[in-house]
Amino acid sequence: MRWDIFCKVIDNHGDLGVCWRLACQLAAQGDGVRLWVDDGAALEWMAPAGHVGVQVVDWRAPAAVLEAAKGPAPDVLIEAFGCDPAPELIACFAEAASDGRPPRPWINLEYLSAEPYVERLHGLPSPVFRGPGEGLSKRFYYPGFTTATGGLLREPDLSARQEAFDRTAWLGAQGIDWQGERLVSLFCYEPPALADLLAQLAAGPAPARLLVTPGRAARAVQAIAGTGVERSGALSISCLPHLAQPDFDHLLWACDLNFVRGEDSFVRAIWAGAPMVWQIYPQDDDAHHVKLAAFLDWLGAPASLRHGHQVWNGFEAGALPSLDRATLAEWRINAQSARDRLLQQNDLVTQLRGLISQKS
């Protein structure tokens, strides 16, 4: 099959990260994929080697759009996160859909949520009433956490790779001389409780090392701790370079506690099965408050983890819960239980192919 995936970058780690993983998983199963992006700069470090079977196309290049419009239409069109693909390409897709055969699938891949509406809307059609796609129908595809949703992206060999992971060797390859201290990863925006986290780790009874991702997380730490600070009390700080997606997974597997943000890193932290705190992408109407609460409900999060999320996201004032051994042990049991539940469900690509075969 030939797939076109369209992605407009809002947060290049999340939107692009999800679409790249989807494209690679489809290509690994033998399909051809064109990934249309309006800003693919992050792929230079996210996926420096590319992937066999995935062609990245600059959506902003008129020549590329015209060339594609003259060629054969894809078998499946995926519009990621309601991004409105180029009209010329929709016209090409519509023309191919009018050749007397069953309509080609047009999938509107939505954002991940645990809210109840996801189960109600997943898989429903959405007729197109205007523009070059008039007369066609999109189909909503909602990733989610239950069997009534579209599932989560997960490579077939993910568990095997994680079981074979050598934490000490990977850390050494990153130039980190790990001496058994607690490892905490930090991938965030500018959380209100960041200063509290740094202070708690610095004052802790046992050594801890904070592994900080580049960009906003590193700048947020520097704004509090100062540029060039590598040690404060019991806390050591290591600033990492940009990591390709496989190595970002390794970072999450290596750490005893992961602070993540957005969607892609959030899902990968779930698969890591380690204690995790999620900084949800903020929305102007505060809809992210409801979205976070729905996830914590599905997770069955203990009270301390709920409180930690509320404080980390700025929904509540005050300090983070104590990140002591007992608290993290409770969080780990909760995280591993959630991962085990999800491993019993089909992954997103398997379910997506099933939906397409049913509706074709």
Tokens matching residue 264: 């892609």
Q: Is 252 exposed, middle or buried (0-12, 13-18, 19+ CB in 10 A)?
A: buried
The whole-model pTM stands at 0.95
| Closest residue by Cα to residue 126 from 142, 111, 146 | 142
Q: Find the angle CA(174)-CA(176)-CA(177) to the nearest 5 degrees.
A: 140
Candidates 4, 15, 79, 256; catalytic one: 15
| Closest residue by Cα to residue 96 from 78, 69, 123 | 69
Q: Residue written as tokens 């609460």? A: 293
326 SS3 class: helix
Amino acid at 293: A
Candidates 110, 256, 263, 347; catalytic one: 263
Largest CA distance in the chain: 71
* Higher per-residue confidence, 93 vs 168: 168
Per-residue pLDDT of 11-52, as tens digits, reads 757 899 999 999 999 999 999 999 999 999 999 999 999 999
225 has pLDDT over 70 = yes
> How do 125-127 and 137-141 pair as beta strands?
antiparallel
4 carries an active-site annotation: no
| Closest residue by Cα to residue 104 from 150, 73, 143, 140 | 73
Residue 173's pLDDT is 96
Per-residue pLDDT of 173-203, as tens digits, reads 999 999 999 999 999 999 999 999 999 999 9
Per-residue pLDDT of 259-269, as tens digits, reads 999 899 999 99
Give strand pairing partners of 127: 137
Q: How confident is the model at residue 100 (pLDDT cuts 50, 70, 90)?
A: low
| Closest residue by Cα to residue 313 from 281, 290, 285, 269 | 281
Per-residue pLDDT of 226-250, as tens digits, reads 877 788 899 999 999 999 999 999 9
- Distance, in Å, from the CA atom of 137 to the CA atom of 255, rounded to the nearest integer, reads 44
- Distance, in Å, from the CA atom of 257 to the CA atom of 235, rounded to the nearest integer, reads 14
15 carries an active-site annotation: yes
DSSP 192: T
DSSP 282: P
DSSP 64-126: HHHHHHHSPPPSEEEEETS----HHHHHHHHHHHTSSSPPPPEEEEPPP--STHHHHHTT-EE
